[in-house]
Amino acid sequence: MANLNITLEGKVCVCELNRPHAMNSIDPEMREELYAFYARIKEDDDIHVVIFTGAGDKAFCTGADLKKTLPDTNVSYAQQLLGQGDPGSAFKGLETDKPILCAVNGYALAGGTELLLACDIAIASENAKFGLTEVRRGTIPWGGSIQRLPRSIAKTDAMLLLLTGDTIDAHEALRMGLVSKVVPHAELMPTALAIGHRIANNAPLAVRAVKQLVTRGGDLPLVHALAVDKYMYGLLKDSEDRIEGRKAFAEKRDPVWKMK
C-alpha cells in the first residue's frame, strides 16, 4: 500500500497521506515519497494547485512516527548540531510558487501543524485538532514552525502554542488565524477542491507571481517590496495571458491560458 495517494483532478493535485493505522504519521518511507512528490510539483506543468489531506476520519498528520524515527545513538550531540546523520525535515524541498492548500480532516499535531504552516491556505473540518507538541517530547519543532508561526498569527498566540505544547480545536485555530475556514467534516474536501479549482482556473503566471511576491515581500521593507511588485507587473504587462484575459472579459467568454 502506497504511503501517499496522489490523484489529479483537472489541474488540482490531491496528495492524501495514507497511513491511517498510524494516524498518518510520517515514517522514513513516507518521507522519501514526499520528497519525490515535491520534485514532481515543481516539474509537472499539469499541476497548478496542490491539496494535502489525510486518509481516514481521525488524523490529518501527527508528525513523525516516533516508533520508527528514534534518534541514532551512535551520532554525537555535536554531529547532530552540524546536521550529520540527520535525514532532514519531512518538508524540505516543498518550497514552490504553485499554491498549496491543506484540508485538515482530524488531528494535525507536531509535523501535521508544520505541514499546514508550509501551505498557503488551510481549511479545517469541525473535528480537527492542532498542536505543536514537540516540547512535551524533549525537542523542538524543526520543520519551520518556530519561524513561520509568529509570522502567521499573533506572537502571543504563537508563543502559547509553542511553549505549552497544548492542543487547540478548529474554532480556536480559526480565531487565531491558523486556518481560513472551518466546515462540517462532510464538506471538507468539496470545499478545498472548489477553492483549488477556482485558483487553477485563474491565469497561472499571475497566480504564481502573486505567491512569489507575498513570499519574498514578507522579508523586505515595504518600499522595496512595492518596487518588486512593480517590476513583476512590468514582466506580465505584455504577456499573452494578460492580453487574453482582457479579450475574454470584453467578449464575455472564459479565457484560454497559455502560460505565455
- The catalytic position among 114, 126, 172, 240 is 114
Q: What is the pLDDT of residue 88?
A: 67
Q: What is the pLDDT of residue 170?
A: 98
- The catalytic position among 95, 134, 240, 251 is 134
List alpha helices for the chain, DSSP H. 28-43, 77-81, 111-118, 145-152, 155-164, 170-176, 188-200, 204-217, 222-237, 240-250
> Could you tell me if residue 75 is left (phi over 0), alpha (psi between -120 and 50 degrees) or otherwise beta?
beta
Spatial CB neighbours of 105, under 8 Å, sequence gap ≥ 6? 53, 54, 56, 57, 59, 60, 125, 127, 128, 185, 188
- 244 assigned to active site: no
Question: Could you state, in chain order, the average pLDDT of each consecutive group of 10 residues for the chain (260 residues)?
Answer: 92 97 95 96 96 96 81 51 59 94 97 96 98 93 92 96 97 98 98 98 96 93 95 93 93 93
In terms of Cβ atoms closer than 10 Å to its own Cβ (0-12, 13-18, 19+), residue 165 is: middle
User: How far is residue 9 from each of residues 3, 6, 15, 49, 151, measured CA to CA in Å?
Assistant: 19, 10, 11, 10, 32
Among residues 242, 258, 212, the alpha carbon closest in space to that of 99 is found at: 212
What does DSSP assign to residue 166? -
What cell was used for 189? 474536501
Task: State pTM to two decimals.
Answer: 0.91
Length of the chain in terms of residues written: 260
Domains of the chain: 4-200 (3.90.226.10), 204-250 (1.10.12)
Among residues 222, 131, 123, the alpha carbon closest in space to that of 182 is found at: 123
- 134 assigned to active site: yes
